[in-house]
Amino acid sequence: MRANRPQGVRKGTVAFRGSLPRSLITAFVAVWAGLFIPAIGTGESSGPSERPNILFILSDNFRWDCMGFMNHPFIKTPGLDRLAEEGIVFENAFNTTSLCSPSRASILTGTYARTHGVLNNHTPWTGQKPTFLEYLSKAGYDTAFIGKWHMPGKGLPDMPYLDLFVSYTYREGQGSYFNCPLIVNGRPEPSEKAYITEEMTRRAIEFIEQRSFGPEGAKRPFCIYLSHRTAHPPFHAPQGIAGMYAQEKVSLPKRVDSWFSRTNGNVFQGIMMGSYEDQYRKYCEVITAMDRDIRVLVDRVDELGFRDNTIIVYAGDNGMMWGEHRRHGIKYPNEESIRLALIVRCPWLVRDPGRRRSQMVLNVDFASTFLDLAGVTVPKEMEGQSFLRILEDPEAPGRKAWLLEYWKYFPENFPSYVGVRTDTHKYIEYEKTLEPELFDLTADPGELRNLHGTPAGQEILPDLKGMLEALKNGERM
Amino acid sequence: MAGQANAAVKGLGFRERLVTPVLVVFVVMTLSWIAYNLAWRLENATLHRVVASVSGTLLFLSVVLGPLAVYCMAYFRGATLKERIGASLINPFLWATKECLRLCISFSLLESVYYYFNPLNVWLALGIAAEMALAEMICRQRRRSQGADIRVLQPIAVAALLISLSLVISLYLWGEGENVYAIFLEGYRVFFGPGTGVGVKL
């Protein structure tokens, strides 16, 4: 519980790191103020006087380094650059299962795939695990799910607790970039805007605007889960953006060539037409298109006066490999595949905007974090950890290790695997065919030297295997 | 039909009529596949790109347009219609089989067999039908220009060309293949469920 806790308590806790006498006095005052005058803060910074709003923006197959501020050679993402400047960038954010549907289910339920049961993109969502949106709704939040659902099952699930549910089942739930037929609160509706991120953004803005008007006392905090189709193939950017990177030079990883998009089953990633370089340019274009709409949305949030009481979280559901290790796609245990983009703007918690955090956070952490922020007790069933503390404090401890798991997904030709990733190492065991892999991520961040079976690997293997078994048994580290 | 048309080469045996045309394309396909898959090991980046581009192009052409070449070669070597059709299908079938076997890395044999029905193979099959119809017309035109009294546009060949070509195009235009792919996945789930594997101990 965090937001229900009087603000003064939290700020006071942080103040202990300053000079001791002053901190003690501040803390003392804060505790008493917190106990008897719940809405009063210490005066150190102005946090929201009510429970904060939550705007969660999720993208698809978004590679963590495809943003302007990450020194990408040509992509333009002024919207995300701005969020990074005003918020915190998590450099070590990961998904626990590198595939769309399992990752999305993990985000919504705060649990690992082995717990929520959506093991791959063919396994139905059962709805047995409550989502963080449900908890927030019960806690008095207005909740909206807008965008890509993409979990198997018969149509869209029944989620009566949502105040707005805009999604689509078109093409296996992948939707389309243009004129995607929508389902709004259970009823088919056409898109008003032709381009999908524009339409979803419009819906999100409309939802926020409805909450900004009306009598002050009647207002409830809101939580929006805005889930974009971008950047899922085939890549189609809108007019004005399509073709903007056509002349950019793309440097493919060594050992990859222009035909790579048509070999090794990669055509089933929707990248058959055009060279591999062309596909990458188009991938960047759809990201720029989404970024344009993120900028519009953030501007509107600020214009409506929600800036100081709205947390904005931008994340990807997976990473994306573009030829590294001669692999394309999202299903691999490599860093390019499992690493997530994660930016958080939270003006009242972040004291050092524009900085980065190196602690490891996971997709299963989002649910706990949002509940924590809203002052809702995080249920024991949730397997993630709130990262609000890390947001506040760059020195806050992070997790030691976590479980990475993947269940094979037809027709993606890669076997099931399970592994452990620590701050320094990664160990992966495959169901069949492939030999185990062990990488020292500090000495070999590109994962080029498999230490499994080497003396150096033998030294660390027992520890990693022990951690793996413990994590599989539900231990958290 | 073909036997009469190719009376001049009627004396050719099975090997010359069929095996040779199939082998010519098979050798190109196999060598280019080997070259492509070895090219990335070349340390010289420029050489890698050149070898990969040439072998990639040849591989693509041999798989996709190989049937056209096989059909024409078999035609002029006196193969019957059935033989020409059979010969044209051999190399694409071998390629599709290789792709299915590739899936055994992760999936069961049955699941790999289902992979035969993937949209790419559907397109390939339709494309081959169009190519065979086109090849028949090309060969007949060639023979006609050599003085043979022969009809170039046979109704069945024209129909096969039009139907298969329009199916190739329309299936692609229908959601750039995504819709066909969705049907393929739906079929997979009917037979294999989520396919996560039984008894997987992760």
pLDDT per residue as tens digits for the range A71-91: 999 999 999 999 999 999 999
Q: What is the pLDDT of residues A260-290, one digit of tens each?
A: 777 766 666 655 667 889 999 999 999 999 9
In A155-207 the beta strands, taken as DSSP E runs, fall at 164-167, 182-184, 187-189
> Among residues of chain B, what percentage have pLDDT more than 70?
92
Architecture (CATH level 2) of domain A53-399: 3-Layer(aba) Sandwich (3.40)
State the residue for tokens 């050719």.
Answer: B12
Chains A and B form CB pairs within 8 A to the count of: 117
Q: Which residues from A are below 8 Å from B106, CB to CB?
A: 408, 412-416, 432-433
Q: What is the pLDDT of residues B93-130, one digit of tens each?
A: 999 999 999 888 889 999 999 999 998 899 999 999 99
pLDDT of residue A10: 32
- Mutation to test the B interface, candidates A114, A257, A261, A405, most B Cβ within 10 Å: A257
pLDDT of residue B136: 96
pLDDT of residue A304: 93
Give the domain extent around B39: 2-192
Q: What are phi and psi of A151, to 5 degrees?
A: -130, 140
Q: What is the pLDDT of residues B142-181, one digit of tens each?
A: 999 999 888 999 999 999 999 999 999 998 888 778 888 8
In B120-199 the beta strands, taken as DSSP E runs, fall at none
Residue B200 in any domain: the answer is no
pLDDT at position A204 over 90 = yes
Indicate the average pLDDT of chain A: 87
The pTM of the full predicted model, rounded to 2 decimals, is 0.85
Find the closest chain A residue to B49 by CA distance: A257
Facing residue for B197 by CB, picked from A254, A411, A431? A431
> Among residues of chain A, what percentage have pLDDT more than 70?
86
Q: Residue A74 half-sphere exposure, CB side, CA atoms within 13 Å?
A: 14
- Mutation to test the B interface, candidates A196, A276, A413, most B Cβ within 10 Å: A413
Q: What is the pLDDT of residues A359-387, one digit of tens each?
A: 999 999 999 999 999 999 999 999 999 99
Q: Which residues from B are below 8 Å from A405, CB to CB?
A: 202
Q: Do A176 and B175 meet the contact criterion of CB atoms below 8 Å apart?
A: yes
Q: Which of these, A366, A373, A384, lies nearest to A349 by C-alpha position?
A: A373
ipTM > 0.90 (yes/no): no
Q: Does B187 touch chain A (CB under 8 A)?
A: no
Give the contacts of B170 (CB within 8 A, at least 6 positions apart).
none
Q: Does B200 touch chain A (CB under 8 A)?
A: yes
Confidence of residue A25 (pLDDT cuts 50, 70, 90): very low
Residue B102 in any domain: the answer is yes
State the residue for tokens 């149509």.
Answer: A155
Q: What is the pLDDT of residues B34-57, one digit of tens each?
A: 999 999 889 898 899 899 999 989
> Contact A119/B194, CB-based, under 8 Å?
yes
- Rounded mean pLDDT, A447-476: 94
Q: Which of these, A149, A150, A148, A99, lies nearest to A120 by C-alpha position?
A: A99
Return the C-alpha torsion angle A389, A391, A392, A396, nearest 10. 50
Residue B198 in any domain: the answer is no
Q: Which residues from B are below 8 Å from A430, CB to CB?
A: none
Beta bridge partners of A428: A419, A437
Q: Does B117 touch chain A (CB under 8 A)?
A: no
Q: Does B181 touch chain A (CB under 8 A)?
A: yes
Tokens linked to B62 = 């041999």
Q: What are phi and psi of A120, to 5 degrees?
A: -150, -175
Interface of A with B (CB under 8 A): 114, 119-120, 122-124, 152, 171-172, 174, 176, 234, 254-259, 262-265, 267-268, 270, 272-273, 326, 405, 407-418, 431-433, 472
Facing residue for A174 by CB, picked from B40, B103, B178? B178
What is the per-residue burial (b if ≥16 Cβ within 10 Å, else e) of A295-318?
A: bbbbebbeeeebeebbbbbbbbbb
Q: Which residues from A are below 8 Å from B174, CB to CB?
A: none
Domain ranges across chain A: 7-36, 53-399, 415-472
Measure A418 CA to nearest chain B CA, in Å: 6
Measure A76 CA to nearest chain B CA, in Å: 27
User: For chain B, what is the domain count?
Assistant: 1
pLDDT of residue A39: 36
pLDDT at position A315 over 70 = yes
> Contact A255/B40, CB-based, under 8 Å?
yes
> Contact B49/A418, CB-based, under 8 Å?
no
